Structure 1
Amino acid sequence: MSFHRAFARVVCNYNKSIEGSVPWYQVKREKSPFQQVWDEVFTPVWFKLVKGPYERWEYNALVARYRGMGIMADDAMNDKDMIVERALDIIPEDIRIQRYRRMMRGAVLAGRKLHLPLELQNYDPMVPYMAPYIEEAKFQMQEEQELLAFHPWDRRL
């Protein structure tokens, strides 16, 4: 039995023995007067004058970059991620081909330091076309883990 598995059992048994106690993350913390003033006065001003405009500029810059390269936001996700890899196995062939062509076009344009013509940049790159497939992949992985009772610390090296 690995150390992590044994340690997890000890921790679980210890937590069962002190059932009446409230976990630390559920304890209600009182705010100090300084924190109350900060939350009521400075936070809205900070968001209105600094954080909000910066995030809006950052989002618009990202959209412009995606449009200039001809890719979508879901195309920029890491292919080596387990969930994305599973979702790429699920998606239909035509969507997979469109994704591949967009990524190759973006790579060619980036390599040549060019951008798409303006008439081809008329689309919304933030449409999450892979979202249903990613949710399905998450569901499949969760189902597999529940059926197999898989835990990373159970793996033998």
Structure 2
Amino acid sequence: MSFYRALSKTLIKNYAAQRAVIPWYQQEGQQLSQFEQWVKDTLYPTWFKFVKGPYERYQYEHTVADLRAYGLMFDDAHNNNEPIVERAIELLPHDLAVGRYRRMMRAFEMNTKKTHLPVEEQNYDPMVPYLAPFIEEAKFQMQEEQELLNFHPWDRRLYSGPTTGFGETTPNSTFSCW
């Protein structure tokens, strides 16, 4: 028997064995010990009720109050320099883009003047995600571009010239390059 025939038989046998393995997301959960089950049943609900739940509620209410004070939406607080957010902002319709710009400029002006919106204008929900569908579309577009251009992160050259390749845009802008 030739080498390649023996190799293909071995590979097929191993492939059949691997196909029989259940994927991790379909496997049943691992059994907890008695102590872990006791913690899950008695300790965790109490911790969630008195510590984690109230803290997360406080954080949420505090964020909502801060956004309402300046008339902002939650999606206005995203970092504009992230590539996905940049692409999503480019995809925004004109009316949403103008509204976003005006909200941010109003918030900047109120912040510099140390003022807040009047209370009667703070009656809105700042957590409505107007940018989320455009962020998803931007993710799909960027993924498609990377696939079409055959881009792989491991193909990127690190330390070529005065830049490291870790995201800086100007030469010698980090401490890792002198």
TM band (smaller chain)? 0.7 to 0.9
Which sections of structure 2, spanning at least 5 residues, go unmatched?
1-13, 161-178
Q: If you compute each CA radius of gyration, which structure gives the higher value, 1 or 2?
A: 2
User: Equivalent residue of 2:75, what SS?
Assistant: helix
Q: Which residue of 2 aligns with 1:33?
A: 34
The residue type equivalent to 2:92 in the other structure is I
Q: Which residue of 2 aligns with 1:7?
A: none
Runs of 4+ more than 3 Å apart: 19-23, 25-30
User: Equivalent residue of 2:54, what SS?
Assistant: helix
Separation in 2, partners of 1:114, 1:145: 45
Q: Which residue of 2 aligns with 1:86?
A: 87
Give the root-mean-square deviation of aligned CA atoms. Answer: 2.3
The residue type equivalent to 1:94 in the other structure is D
Q: Which residue of 2 aligns with 1:145?
A: 146
**Residues 1-157 of structure 1: pairs in structure 2 closer than 5 A:** 20=18, 29-156=30-157, 157=160
Q: Residues 35-70 of structure 1: CA distance to partner in whole angstroms, max 9, x if unpaired?
A: 111111111111112211111121111101000011
Q: Residues 70-124 of structure 1: CA distance to partner in whole angstroms, max 9, x if unpaired?
A: 1000000000111100001111122111111111111121222211001111111
Which sections of structure 1, spanning at least 5 residues, go unmatched?
1-15
Separation in 1, partners of 2:21, 2:52: 35
TM-score, normalised to structure 1's length? 0.79
The residue type equivalent to 1:114 in the other structure is T
Separation in 2, partners of 1:32, 1:113: 56
TM-score, normalised to structure 2's length? 0.71
